[in-house]
Amino acid sequence: MKEFKDKVAVITGAGSGIGLAIARRCVQERMKVV
């Protein structure tokens, strides 16, 4: 998805579960994850 490339995502609760899955997907989409 080009619209997410080089964007920044601030994800809370990314230590486990759904938050972790979302963080991993954002990294796959080349987003910067904080």
pLDDT score for 20: 94
Asked if residues 4 and 29 have their Cβ atoms less than 8 Å apart, the reply is yes
Q: What is the tally of structural domains in the chain?
A: 1
pLDDT score for 1: 57
**C-alpha distances out from residue 12 to 1, 2, 17, Å:** 22, 23, 11
3-state secondary structure 3-26: HHCCCEECCCCCCCHHHHHHHHHH
pLDDT score for 21: 95
pLDDT in tens, 1-28: 578 888 999 999 999 999 999 999 999 9
Is the pLDDT score of 32 beyond 80? yes
Domain encompassing residue 28: 2-33
pLDDT score for 23: 93
Decide: helix, strand or coil at residue 32: strand
pLDDT score for 4: 84
